[in-house]
Amino acid sequence: MNELTIHPRADDHMKGCVQALATVHAADRYPADWPVDPEGWLTPRSMLDAWVAVDGSAVVGHVVLARPEEALAVAVGLPSQRLVSVARLFVSAGARRRGVAARLLDKAIGVAAADGLRPVLEVEAGATAAINLYERAGWRYVGSSTADWMTADGRVAQLRFYVAPSDHRT
């Protein structure tokens, strides 16, 4: 691996983001269904900011901060205006187990903390590698719900809700 750097996502990163996402979809079926418009999926309407992890010239990871959905705010028990949602976090299949996801997560948490916001997230219960990452990083499980979509293996998705540790330092 060359020098891994984290950058604010720019338009010229989008092709690399879609290529990295394709490796994640092939390996893990995330997202469960390949989006008709992958660039649009990477840019949800609720998005506030986004970053990429770049290794040399290749985009190898991605994360978004977004306004949280009300169900997530209710699960956490805080007003949605005090929260920010971590979303679209992924690392390309070839760049895993190198701390890329942890660095992207730290970047998102640090920016949220600097803005006085508490990061929250939701993850499908079958995404055990992601759940392990969040729990190792000190995220606290606060509840779950049934989603309105199906997983790649045909189950109704079960969402787990997490809140970031309150003592994060940037």
Sign of the C-alpha dihedral, residues 114, 141, 66, 50?
Answer: positive
Judged against a pLDDT cut of 70, whether residue 168 lies above it is answered with no
For 67-78, what is the mean pLDDT? 88
pLDDT the model gives residue 7 = 95
pLDDT the model gives residue 170 = 40
* pTM for the predicted model, two decimal places: 0.91
Judged against a pLDDT cut of 50, whether residue 79 lies above it is answered with yes
Are the C-beta atoms of 85 and 47 separated by less than 8 Å?
no
pLDDT single digits (tens) 87-104: 999 999 999 889 999 999
Establish if 123 belongs to a structural domain: yes
Establish if 12 belongs to a structural domain: yes
pLDDT the model gives residue 2 = 61
Establish if 57 belongs to a structural domain: yes
Judged against a pLDDT cut of 80, whether residue 167 lies above it is answered with no
DSSP 12-64: GGHHHHHHHHHHHHHHH-SSSS--SSHHHHTS-TTEEEEEEEEETTEEEEEEE
| Phi and psi angles of residue 149, each rounded to the nearest 5 degrees, phi first | -140, 165
pLDDT single digits (tens) 108-158: 999 999 999 999 999 999 899 899 999 999 999 999 988 888 887 888 989
Counting the structural domains of the chain, the total is 1
Establish if 170 belongs to a structural domain: no
Establish if 75 belongs to a structural domain: yes
Establish if 77 belongs to a structural domain: yes
CATH number assigned to the domain comprising residue 30: 3.40.630.30
pLDDT the model gives residue 153 = 82
For 157-161, what is the mean pLDDT? 92
For 44-63, what is the mean pLDDT? 96
Establish if 37 belongs to a structural domain: yes
Confidence of residue 169 (pLDDT cuts 50, 70, 90): very low
The radius of gyration of the chain's CA atoms, rounded to the nearest angstrom, is 15
The domain of 151 spans 4-163
pLDDT the model gives residue 70 = 87
Establish if 168 belongs to a structural domain: no
Judged against a pLDDT cut of 50, whether residue 18 lies above it is answered with yes
